[in-house]
Each structure stands twice: as C-alpha cells, then as structure tokens.
Structure 1
Amino acid sequence: MELSVHLFSEHASTRDDLLDPPDDATIRPANKLADLDFDCELAYVHRRSSDLPEWSRYVRPYFDVMWGTRGTTVSAALLPRLGDRFFAVTFGHGRHILNNSLLVPDFGLRVTANSIAPDAVTAMGTSTVGTVSRRTNQIVNMPSTLDAFRLDIGDEWVRSLAGSTDEELAHAMSGSQSLRVRVRDEHAELKRLGELLDYLLRQYESTRYQNTFRFIDALRPLPLHDDRIERLDTILLNRFLDPAKHPTIAVAVPEDRPPEPTFFRLTKGIGHKAREREEIDLAWLHAQKHRVHRPLEQIRIGLVDAEGDRVSAPRPLREYLTTETELDGEMFALAGGRWFRVDATTLAKVERQLDDYVVEYNDPIEPRRIGEHEGPYNDRVAEIAGWINMEHHQKQVSATGATVEMCDLLTEDLHLIFVKSFGDSTRRSHLFSQGSVSARLFAENAELYRENEGYRDFVYRLHAERWPYTVRGNPKIVYAISTERKQPLRELLPLFSRINLANHARTISAFGYQVKLAKIPVVPAIPKARTAGQRGGRRLRDDSRARPQQGQLF
C-alpha cells in the first residue's frame, strides 16, 4: 500500500491551522468508530467534478456528444499529531484542502535521502533555478547509484528523489514536499500509522543524507511562512518598479507548466474587463505596472497554447519573475514563485571554480557604441585590430548538419572571441554554451561538410593565411561581454550566470584550453555630420543614441 504523507511546520499549533480548502469545497469532520493509540482526526470533502471543457461550447450546438454527467468526488485527509507536530495523510485530492503555507517544503526529499541506500536510487527530478528553467525527470530501470543520473551539482535544484529501501516499515519511497511511501503489508493498517510517522519524523531530522546526497542542500526552498519572504518580496517589487537601476530581474515561465512550443499570456486583473493575449514580455509588464496598486499580485498571467486553449489558470506575476539577491549575508534566488536559500558552501565552490578556470582578458578591446549591433561592431573591430571576422566563415559540421559559428573574432594569438551584450541570463547562457561547443569541436577536429575539412584544420588554415609566420599554440576561449556598468565584469554576473560560466569553463579546461573573460566598454555613438539644410547649431537626430529595445542588440 502507498501512502502520501505531509509534515506541517512547528507554526501549526491547532488543527484549525491545517486546512485551507478551495471556495467550492466544504470540509466535514468524520466521526470516530474506533479508538487509536495516537491522536488523529479525519477531514473529508465532497466536491463537484470539473466543468465541461472550454472547447465544448464550440461543437455542442452542432454535434451530439456523450458528455457524461457531473458528479461528486470524495477527498480526505487524516490529520494525526505526534507530540507537538502535525502530519497529513491524504487520499484522492486531499492535498488541495491543506494549508500549503505551513507544509515543510522538503519533508519528502529529506526523508527519502535519509532512507534509501546510495546504490538504490530509482528516480530523480531536477530543475535549474534561473531565467532559463530546465526541468528533468530521470528514471532508471533498476536501483542504481548516482552515476546513472545526469546532475549538474550547483546548477540544478534536486526537487525530488526516489529509491528502494530495506527498512522494516517501508520498501520504497519517493519525495519532494510530500512523501510517497510504499508500506510493507504487515504495516498497511491505520492502527500502525503512529509507528510509521514516528519513524518518518526521525528520518527527516537525521543528517545521514549528507554522506551521499549533500547536494540537496545547495538550493533549499524557504517555507511559505518564513518571515524573510516578505522582505525578499519587497526587494523584488523595488526591482520591478525600477528596472533601470536593478537589471537583474527577468521573466520565466514557471517550470511546472506543460511544455508547449509557444506560450502566450492571458492577463486579468488590470482593470475590470482587461483581457489581452500576448507573448510573455518584460517590457509589456513594465508598461502595465503603474495601472495597478500591487503589480506583483494584481497583474495575473495565465498560459494558453498557440490555439488559444487555456493551459493554466491565471497566476500572480510574482510567479513568473526571477531574480537573486543578498539578505542578512546570505544569497537567495526566486524561481517559479518560490524563494530559495543558496548554500554558502555552494557559493564558495563556484568562486573557487571561477578562480581555477577563468582568467581576466587584459588585452584592450575596442569599445562598442550605444546602438551598435553585433555585425557592424565585429566588422569594425576586425578592421581596426586586423583580426578575422569569423561571422563570414561559418561552416556546417557533418555530425549534426548545423551551421557552426566557431567564434565572432579570431586573433593572431589564436584567441577565439565570442561577443555578446550583457543582456539577460538567456543571452549569457547561449554565449557560454557557444564557447564550450566550439572547444569540443576544435579538440575533436570534427569533420565539416564543406571541403571535407576538420574543424581545427579549418581554423588553422584561416589563421595561417592571415598570419603565415606566427607560431600557433592552443586556442583560448574568450567571452567578451559589453556593458555600460563600471564594476568588474565577474562581479556583475548574477549567481546563476557565474555557475553557468564555471560549468562551461570546467568543460573547456578539460580539453586543455584556457578560458578568459573580457569586458567591452560601451561609449556614446559618434554624432552624424550636419547637412547644409540643417539650421545652425542643430544636430541631426542620431538614432544610434536611443536605447535599443530588448532583443535588438546582440
């Protein structure tokens, strides 16, 4: 038998604190028919089943479809108490009547990590916590060690874990916030539940998991009742209201949404009848922020697919924003509407990796002008410095058929320079990935379609044609990022961009190539010359001085 178990925090003092049913659900207490050895009550709810689908209105007038009848469903939650801690064991949709704000967010994960053996892992769910959220669920066909799973420790939040156990009470577990525990037959009776819960609480409080699964502490979600959340939300609101001063905020679709090729937003709550369907865009959100009193809550976003079918009910804007910040000397990150505390050990590890694998590029690089796009900038720099603009020499790799951009600029010292503006984390993630892909193809000398030439051979040939007498060494991967901000570039990179850079730099270093980080300064554009028809003293409008819109610059 499988049971779904939840643990409430110490802030739950009475059973009245435990339940928070939906508006259309009425909770009823169940009368006891027999005594138990522990304190326990049962709450259940009759709830109307879901309405007909939205699309039914389109076809019902014309086609006779057996839609069925609307009925009721029964969900329940056992609410046992052991000492001063409350639990919930839910059945059906019973989890939806619980007060989610008081549930321990990592109860199931911690219990599972403390209960399964290192070689008995059967499944793992991970998510990256950043602007680009990647959610994975990995399942193996037999209990295995962690080597059977792909996990980027420090870059991914392990949100769920599953495995088998040889414990007397249970033989399998899977957990995230809640715990699914497969109870052995001899314990599959309600009268034995107190014994099981006592064991699970001791497993939750244990630290044995740190021997094998310590990485689950790298990113830990804050309980919803944590008093730091209000302070963190205040920081989030200030950043949203003043994006020019705080550019470290971005929009990301919550990772628990179904994958669709195209997402749109269905906005509600801006005015009484506002209903707009647009692609999710931070600039649009900024344009609406002064129309509501509390933008993080009153601007609500629901997802619909490309055909207009609703994918999710409208949710507050806060759940679509990502950022990271320091508070009381600790680092926190927001993703999917949840704040995470970043483990100090993880932060120190990232900084050590950056020290080990990334060095500062000290050679001067031509500044980029405000409004200057990537192509013209690379052309201008290549001409001034005498470098090769590799945008004009792209090739297709035979293994994939994809056109590969070796780099943006190639120097005499065999520096492969990749150029991007600071932008958001998506842009930086793409930049770092370009460098590691190019390093791998260079090391493997991957065969190109054109001329049946190897990747490394092709770069060497272009280099030899331009600089025939230069002795070539190993290439160096240079990430050149333009920004107007004055701080050192490494300090400007947000946490998850630093993690991303450290991971790619470690990969590149494994091929024997050095990684460098270069900051491209941004300067005002050169004014255009006046024409004879201009009035004296008045300059022509210089469109390149205007701030570019998001997505225009490289």
Structure 2
Amino acid sequence: MAATKPSKLRFNCYLIRSSVLSWEHALRPKYRTGGALALLPIAPSASAPPNAIALPGQPSEKIPRWAQDLNSQFPGLSAVTNTSNRMVIFLPVKNRTFAVCFGYGSTALEWESIESNFGLRVAARNFQADDLTELRSRRIDASARTQSVQVPVGGELKDLGVNLEGEFVRKLAGRVESTGLTLDGSVLAGDSIAFKSTTELVTVQQTLANMLTSVEESEAQEGFEFVDALEPLRSNEDVSVRLDQRLVEEILQQGNRDETEFETQIVEFAPPDDVRMDEVDEIIVQNGRRTAVLTEFSIAALRAALRDLNTRVTTQILKSIQLVPTDTNGDPVGQQTSLRNWLIFEVGNVTERYVLTLGRWFRLQESYTEKLDYDLSRIDDLTSSLGLPDTTDSEHEKDYNARAASQLAGTVLLMDRILIKTEDGDRVESCDLLHHDGHLIHVKRYNGSQTLSHLFSQGAVSAQLLRGDEVMRTHFIETVTASDVRFAAAANSAPRIVTYAIALKDSKDLPTGLPTFSKVNLRDFAKQLRQTGVTPTLARIRERPS
C-alpha cells in the first residue's frame, strides 16, 4: 500500500517589526480585543508550537457590485453574496514573530507593524537568476515604466533583456533550492514570503528561522543588489516627514532650496500602475471643492494647476489633493488617488539618497551607493585632455556641436545629424563629434534621466554596430574620409573609445552627482562597451547661465 503524502498548504508569512509591543499591536484597531471585528484566539493543542496564537475571523458576506447594478434587469441577483474568511497565526521564530495569514488574513494587519520587503530580501539571498519565473517592478526614473514579466520554463530574465538594476521590485516568484531552504513548488516574495509546506507548524517555523538567518547573516546574490538596497521607510519616521516637506517645496517651488539638506535629483509627474495614459484625455486635480484640469501631463503643468488652486505649502496636500484620470467622455479611466501616488522624486546629499515612487519612500543603502560610485570611478574623465568648449543653458545641442567643431577644427570633426547606412537598411548617427584620436563623442545636456538614458544607449549601439556591421563601418569610413581626410585614421581605428560628453551646471558632479538610475544606466552601458573591446570615457561640458 502506497504511503499517504503529507498534506500541504501555502503559508503567507509577514515578519513583525521587533519594535511592536505585542501581537495585538500588529492588528488594525478594529480587529483587536474590543474592536468591532475583534479576532478571538482559539486554544491550541499540544502539537502546536509553544506560544503560537491562532486568530480566526468570523465569515463576512457582501453583495457584489455587479449583482447590485444588474438586479433591476435580472431580479434576484441582489441575493447573491460573496463570503470572505480570514485567519492569522502569530508564530514565534527565534527571537521574532511572524504573522502567517490565510484567506483575507493580511487585511487585518497594521501595515506600519510589518517589516516591508522581507520576502524580497529572502529572495535576493536565495534565488538564482535561472530560478525566477515571474517579476513585477517599476522603473525608478522619469519613464516610471511598470513591467510584469513571466519567464518561460528553462528561460532566464537576462534572456528577456530584464535587468533588476534601477527597478523598484514588488514581486518575485520562482523556485528556491539553496541549502536549508529546499521548498516544494514556487515561492512568492514581496513584503511577505509565501511558500508551500506540510501543515506541521514546527516545519514552517524552521523554514522561517532559516530565512531569518539568511537575511541576517548573508549578502544579496549578484544581480539582486539593487533589490536589497532599497529600504522602505515608515510614514511616521522623522526622515519621512522631512522628505515630504522637501517634496512639497520642490513641487510648489517654495522655500529656500539652496539651503536644504537634500538636493533634488529627479522630480517627475508619473501615473500610478492602474492608469493607461493612452486612454487618458484629461486629469482632474481636486483640492476640496476646487478643481483644475490637466491636458498636458508634466510636472510643469501640475505646478501650474496647483498654483491655480492656491495650494498651501503643507505636507497635507500630498494626501488631500486627489487626481482623477478621465477619457474623452469625461468618464474615469483609473481610480481617484492622492497626489503623492503621481510623483517620482529622488533627493540626496553626499552620503544619503532617497526615492519616492508609487507613494512610498525608500532609502538607498549607503553601501550600494558607495559601490556604484566606485564602479563609475573606473571610467576615465577626459574633460581636460579633450578641451571641449563651454556652453550656455540656452544653447541648442545642434548649435553647440557645430561651434565646438569650428573652434576645434582639425581636432574634432562634426558628425551630428550625418546618417550612416547599416546592413538592414536603417540609417543611424555614429556620433556627434569624431576626435582625431579616434574618440566617438556623444553630446547631451543633462536635463533628466531619460535624456541620459538615450545618450548612453546611443553610444553603446553605435559602437556595437561599427564593430559588427560591415556596411555601416565601410560607409562610416567613406563618409569621414570624404569630409576631412585628416580623420581617415581615426575612422579606421574606431570604435576604440566612446566618450559621453555631458553638459552640467557647476553645482553637479560628474558622474557622482547624477540621479541613481542614470548612474546605474551608465555603469551598465560602460560594462557593455568593455565587453565589446571599447573603452568608455566621460567628459564634462561646463554649462554657464545665458
């Protein structure tokens, strides 16, 4: 007779903050003793772990919205109800406590009592790149691109062009087979960690103990460093309050921003996840009974709307001002949400960086920033040797390139807007300026992370094409030689060196003063260039007031 397989359940586990006084304080007030929906503990048997507490909720019934709305056409639908159940088990593990949730149990938890990102920290230490089957993330830059990716069996994220650097990762799913954490089936990681296990809670207890140990005693795996480096802040922390004030001053352009402790790196208007901007015609901005309408979706338009509403300089506006996206008929095409959920903001100083995305503040761990800055320090700065002229804050890039080529005639050749043929029939720019030493110089003014992303990509793509596309290489050499034979040798040797020439105000350092995502992007493209035998370099173009 075949042995009966032990019964298994999926356990969804949240780590309670060590500062929470008791399990009751980990519940929302209405679920505590004496509350309207109080969860009452039931006595455990001897087989349950010592001090484990189970709190089942009373089933609740609710008429679905569709049943209410369609009842007039189909009488009797209003009698249809959905029944919801919940249970929370508070399980001691080592010197900590986990809330193990079933059904709607997690909705009974007080979120300020939960260790955010615990599941992701476990995943960062125990997943391998080929373990992942799914992720959901949001890019921390002006694009605020949200991605949800499912990886085919046997595939890897890198095969799909997915890079976790610069991503606010909210969910990772995959299989874990590291020592001490061999689990059956898929593991789902976010703020919580969810996994299958036998119903013996002592087994769950041991698994969670191993997870705690891995988080406390080991570092994130290669490729998961950025996931681990974002530390969520609680809303009532002192730094969160100061950051909210700084955000309001930046949006309303009030206060003395020269004296602030945090310098702005990014401030952008960006939609929440549930809003498809291609469906949006207008965004209604509500401040109490007063409203303004956005037809252009930018931080400048938002600032104008807030001025029209006579918005006060107080952190309360981040919650009290509500935005409603509407279509051409004036119907909502997304939920009404507070202002803070529509903003991307990064601020920092020499030692600290903070990011706001999807309404949540994160601290970027100093160790990650230090490693990032160290990696970027390996990129040579050629500002002095190239001697590119200064620019003004109003000079167009096209005009600057032409002037630089004229001033440095014989040293650099103007290649801006000259299109070179490729094997597949496209025409691309090889660079903006070609230096007689073989530098492909790409020029951009720093005015946001999206601009720099384009610059870094342009330099890498051009170099890779010149390396591997014979049609482009031949046409490039012919075009350069026909323009100025003195640069023939430089054209034939290219691409040996790619130079990113960035126009910056004196107040910003290059590259350490760039936004975090831009630094991450620069490091990634510099790595790509080195892998193809090309040396990445930087040059600063001093930007002066007009």
Q: 1:291 aligned to 2:305?
A: no
CA distance change for structure 1 residues 19 and 49 in 2, over 3 Å: closer, same or farther?
farther
Tell me what 2:334 maps to. 312
Q: Deviations over 1:243-292 (max 9, x none)?
A: 87555232253664465546566344424141534343111232315523
Q: Does 1:359 align with 2:381?
A: yes
Do structure 1's residue 340 and structure 2's residue 350 form an aligned pair?
no
| Distance in 2 between residues matched to 1:64 and 1:277, nearest whole Å | 38
The match for 1:160 among 171, 177, 202 is: 171
What is the letter of the counterpart of residue 77 of structure 1?
M
The 5-angstrom pairing of residues 267-286 of structure 1 reads: 267-274=284-291, 276-286=293-303
CA contact (8 A) 1:241 1:286 kept: yes
Of 480, 501, 517, which residue of structure 2 is paired with 1:480?
501
TM-score (norm 1): 0.76
Aligned counterpart, 1:171? 184
Aligned length: 504
Check whether the contact 2:272–2:342 (CA below 8 A) recurs between aligned residues: no
Unaligned runs of 5+ in 1: 447-453, 526-554
Task: Look up the match of 1:520.
Answer: 541
Aligned counterpart, 1:431: 455
Counterpart-to-counterpart distance in 1, 2:343 and 2:275:
18
Give me the whole-angstrom Cα distance separating, in 2, the residues matched to 1:274 and 1:388: 54
Are 1:499 and 2:520 an aligned pair?
yes
Residue 210 of structure 1 corresponds to 219
Which secondary structure does the structure 2 equivalent of 1:27 belong to? coil
State which of 7, 13, 21 in structure 1 corresponds to 2:15. Answer: 7
Contact 2:441 2:499 in 1 (8 A): yes
Q: Per-residue displacement from partner, 1:444-491 (whole Å, max 9, x unpaired)?
A: 125xxxxxxx22222211221232144323343232222343544334
The question of whether the paired residues in 2 share the 8 Å contact of 1:370 and 1:522 is answered with yes
Q: 1:194 and 1:433, CA in 2 relative to 1: closer, same or farther beyond 3 A? A: same
Q: Give the superposition deviation at 1:226.
A: 4.6
Kept in 2, the 8 Å contact 1:7–1:178? The answer is: yes
Between the aligned partners of 1:339 and 1:458, the Cα distance in structure 2 is 50
Q: 1:478 is paired with a residue of what secondary structure?
A: strand
Does residue 457 of the first structure (1) align with residue 479 of the second (2)?
no
CA distance in 2, matches of 1:27, 1:239: 42
| CA distance in 1 between partners of 2:201 and 2:39 (Å) | 19
**Cα pair distance change 1:28/1:2, threshold 3 Å:** same
1:8-29 deviation digits (Å, cap 9, x = unpaired): 2123324443344899x96353
Note if contact 2:85-2:104 (Cα within 8 Å) is conserved in structure 1. Answer: yes
| 1:262–1:305 Cα contact (<8 Å) kept | yes
Aligned to 1:450: none
CA contact (8 A) 2:135 2:171 kept: yes
So what's the TM-score if we normalise by structure 2? Answer: 0.77
In the alignment, the residues of structure 1 paired with residue 166 and residue 532 of structure 2 have an alpha-carbon distance, to the nearest angstrom, of 21
Give the deviation of 1:210 after TM superposition: 2.9
1:177 is matched by which residue type in structure 2? D
Measure, in 2, the Cα distance between the counterparts of 1:407 and 1:328.
33
239-248 or 99-108, larger mean C-alpha shift: 239-248
SS in 1 for 2:485: coil
What residue is the counterpart of 1:408 in the other structure? 432
Given candidates 431, 452, 468, the residue that maps to 2:485 is 468
State the partner residue of 1:323. Answer: 345
**1:371 matched to 2:394:** yes
Secondary structure (helix, strand or coil) at the match of 2:19 reads coil
Structure 2 unaligned blocks of 5 or more: 1-8
Q: CA deviation at 1:503?
A: 1.5
SS of the residue 2:297 aligns to: coil
1:219 aligns with 2:230: yes
**What is aligned with 1:181?**
195
Q: Secondary structure at the match of 1:9?
A: coil
Separation in 1, partners of 2:455, 2:519: 13
User: Cα 1:67–1:391, aligned 2, differ >3 Å: closer, same or farther?
Assistant: farther
Contact map agreement 1:481 1:520 (CA 8 A) in 2: yes
1:74 aligns with 2:74: no
Query: Secondary structure of 1:105's partner?
Result: coil
2: CA distance, partners of 1:93 / 1:327: 42
Q: 1:117 to 1:427 in 2, by over 3 A?
A: closer
Q: Give the match for residue 542 of structure 1.
A: none
Distance change >3 Å, CA 118–CA 297, structure 1 → 2: closer
| Higher mean displacement: 133-142 or 145-154 | 145-154
| Matches of 1:107 and 1:322, distance apart in 2 | 23
Take 2:76 and 2:465, find their aligned partners in 1: how far apart are those partners?
56
| Structure-2 separation of matches of 1:311 and 1:20 | 31
SS at match of 2:374: helix
Residues 49 and 73 in structure 1, CA contact (< 8 A), matched pair in contact too: no
1:442 to 441, 466, 489: 466
CA displacement 1:163-214 (0-9 Å, x = unmatched)? 335679941322111222122xxx23xxx33652453144224346537466
Q: Aligned equivalents of 1:431 and 1:328: distance in 2?
A: 25
Give the 3-state SS of the residue equivalent to 1:520 in structure 2: strand
What does 1:12-161 align with in structure 2 at a 5 Å threshold? Answer: 12-20=20-28, 27-29=37-39, 32=42, 37=48, 38-44=52-58, 46=60, 48=62, 51=65, 68-69=77-78, 71-82=81-92, 85-112=96-123, 120-142=131-153, 152=163, 154-161=165-172
CA distance in 1, matches of 2:266, 2:221: 34
Secondary structure in structure 2 of the residue aligned to 1:319: helix
RMSD of equivalent CA atoms: 4.0
Amino acid in structure 2 at the alignment position of 1:8: I
Please state how far the C-alpha of 1:109 moved relative to its aligned partner: 2.4
- State the one-letter code of the partner of 1:40: A
What is the CA–CA distance in structure 1 between the aligned matches of 2:478 and 2:76, rounded to whole Å? 69
Please give the secondary structure, in 2, of the residue aligned with 1:490.
coil
Distance 2:377 2:84 in 1: 58
SS of the equivalent of 1:251 reads strand
Instruction: Report the CA distance shift for 1:254/1:85 in structure 2 as closer, same or farther (over 3 A).
Output: farther
1:119 and 1:144 in contact (8 A); partners too: yes
Q: Is contact 1:431-1:479 (8 Å) kept?
A: yes
Matched residue SS, 1:352: helix
Q: CA deviation at 1:33?
A: 8.1
Alpha carbons of 1:224 and 1:487: their partners in 2 closer, same or farther (altered >3 Å)?
Answer: closer
Measure, in 1, the Cα distance between the counterparts of 2:480 and 2:297.
Answer: 43
CA distance in 2, matches of 1:305, 1:204: 48
Between 160-169 and 318-327, report the one with greater CA deviation: 160-169
